[in-house]
């Protein structure tokens, strides 16, 4: 499911998730290494034309992981354990994009994150 479709089908959840992902400008991306173990990387999600995009760098471990296995989890940050912030998670797969210039990318390779499921607690 694209981010745009999530916004259309669950606008309150999508708005909450977007607000929480944008408040810090950084989120944690979990991918799977070749041996199946998890890897966490900070990323700067950007919302553009109904999509969530991240700069991935061509030779980074997160890019290698996502090329091999496109599944991911994206977790929004919170202010603290008892701050009352919503706990926002997106899970699904990613697809490679073209190099883009513009806000946050500086002609870097990008990946589109498809949000198959979104959860907030």
Whether 62 contacts 38, CB under 8 Å: no
Q: Would you call 74 helix, strand, or coil by DSSP?
A: strand
Residue 4 has pLDDT above 80, yes or no: yes
Mean pLDDT value of segment 109-117: 75
Find, among 41, 38, 36, the residue nearest to 55 by Cα. Answer: 41
Q: What CATH number does the domain containing 65 carry? A: 2.30.110.10
Q: What is the pTM of this model?
A: 0.80
Domain that holds residue 54: 3-120
Structural domain count of the chain: 1
Confidence tier at 101 by pLDDT (50, 70, 90): very low
């Amino acid at each position: 499911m694209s981010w745009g479709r999530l916004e259309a089908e669950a606008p309150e959840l999508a708005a909450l998730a977007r607000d929480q992902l944008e408040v810090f400008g950084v989120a944690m991306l979990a991918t799977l290494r070749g041996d199946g173990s998890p890897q966490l990387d900070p990323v700067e999600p950007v919302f553009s034309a109904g999509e969530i995009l991240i700069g991935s760098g061509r030779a980074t471990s997160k890019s290698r992981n996502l090329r091999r296995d496109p599944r991911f989890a994206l977790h929004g940050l919170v202010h603290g354990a008892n701050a009352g912030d919503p706990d926002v998670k997106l899970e699904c797969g990613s697809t490679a994009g073209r190099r883009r210039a513009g806000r946050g990318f500086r002609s870097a390779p990008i990946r589109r994150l498809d949000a198959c499921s979104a959860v907030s607690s």
